[in-house]
Amino acid sequence: MTTLVSKLIQFVLLTSSKYQIDESHGLSHGMNVLHYAMQIYTSELPRIPNLKTQERPIFISALIHDMCDKKYMNEEEGIKRIEDFLCENITPEEIETTKLIISTMSYSKVKKNGFPIIDDPQKQAAYHIVREADLLTAYDFDRSMIYHLHQSKSDIHKAYENAKEVFDNRIFKHEEDGLFITDFSKREALSLKTMAQNRINAWNRILLREPRFP
């Protein structure tokens, strides 16, 4: 019997292939967001016991949230594909919650529109869990480098500079921008920020010492 997670993974793989979604936003990223989402969810559950009703939308949204990313496709068409896929696997209410999360959680939308106001406190918590999980994975400097490598046709120096600019202007300002709500994410972000800065410094040393072809 095929499990829901197996179907989700297959959907991510097929969508990534169809729309040329690179590894920075593909399956490995979805898995990393899922792991963080489950950690945040577990930490919030004692405070919000009814959050358990949102476990499936949290799980699903974490894995597939980038399968409608406007960097790779028309966002509305992507969301429609996700809805068509989910209709055979979860309830209509869970589909609506999933669509709400993935269509409003991106950094750019939050910066422009703020957080959506959701009447159901459990759904509001689910939204923040997935959103924060995605933000925590953004501290992976190598992931940002990989995305910019695809954009810059493998120019490692340009990719490094572009990624560093994103970290200086966006990632390293997550805390002061008030983007973390949960205690887990606030703590984790401090550790990840230090790791990211160390990685940036390491890449700088590598690129300065880069051997040249004759």
The stretches of 21-154 forming alpha helices (DSSP H) are 27-44, 55-64, 75-86, 92-104, 107-113, 121-137, 141-151
Tell me, yes or no, whether 49 and 122 share the same domain.
yes
Whether the full predicted model's pTM is greater than 0.75, yes or no, is yes
Question: What total number of domains does the chain contain?
Answer: 2
* 43 has a pLDDT exceeding 70: yes
48-107 residue pLDDT tens: 999 999 999 999 999 999 999 999 999 999 999 999 999 988 999 999 999 999 999 999
Average pLDDT, the chain: 94
Q: Which residue range is the domain that position 156 belongs to?
A: 140-214
Tell me, yes or no, whether 36 and 90 share the same domain.
yes
Q: Among 137, 172, 199, identify where a domain stops.
A: 137
Of 1-5, 133-137, 144-148, the least confident: 1-5
Tell me, yes or no, whether 132 and 210 share the same domain.
no
| CB 167 within 8 Å of CB 159 | no
* 213 has a pLDDT exceeding 90: no
Q: How many residues does the chain have?
A: 214
Which pLDDT score, from 0 to 100, does residue 1 have?
44
Q: Among 122, 137, 152, identify where a domain stops.
A: 137
Tell me, yes or no, whether 87 and 160 share the same domain.
no
Tell me, yes or no, whether 94 and 16 share the same domain.
yes
Q: Among 75, 110, 137, identify where a domain stops.
A: 137
Tell me, yes or no, whether 73 and 164 share the same domain.
no
Tell me, yes or no, whether 121 and 157 share the same domain.
no
Tell me, yes or no, whether 147 and 45 share the same domain.
no
Tell me, yes or no, whether 85 and 154 share the same domain.
no
Tell me, yes or no, whether 190 and 151 share the same domain.
yes
Tell me, yes or no, whether 114 and 157 share the same domain.
no
Tell me, yes or no, whether 42 and 103 share the same domain.
yes
Compute the distance between CA of residue 81 and CA of residue 103 in angstroms, rounded to an integer.
13
